[in-house]
Amino acid sequence: MTINTITPFGGYEARRLEQQEQQRQESQKAAVVQESGADRISISEEGRLKMNMLKAAQENDGVRADKVADVKARIEAGEYNPDSKDIAASLLKQELDIWG
């Protein structure tokens, strides 16, 4: 008889040892966090971008004076004829850009 490989642990015993090692590593991580005395957070790049967009929106009143003046001038001159389909398409595009 020839024995090619000898495995010290197999099946249930190997799984139990893996679980013990995983629990030990998790308890070490928890101890490190407790020793530091402070919680930590991490903000993704997408989160930072959304935060910056929200700040910009809150700081701006949303009125573009140059556009308002242009539309007023065109209305007074009788040259402003908005197309409802174009308005609807623009609103839909804005919604899709914002919400994905």
pLDDT along the chain (100 residues), means of 10: 59 74 81 67 87 84 86 93 92 85
- Position 63 scores a pLDDT of 81
Identify whether the C-beta of residue 34 lies closer than 8 Å to the C-beta of residue 27: no
pLDDT, residue 40, reads 76
Supply the Cα-derived Rg of the chain in whole angstroms.
32
pLDDT at 17: 77
Going from the C-alpha of 40 to that of each of 22, 35, 50, 57, 60, the distances in angstroms are 22, 13, 20, 28, 32
Residue with tokens 């001159």: 77
For residue 100, what are the CA distances in angstroms to 24, 35, 86?
A: 42, 42, 20
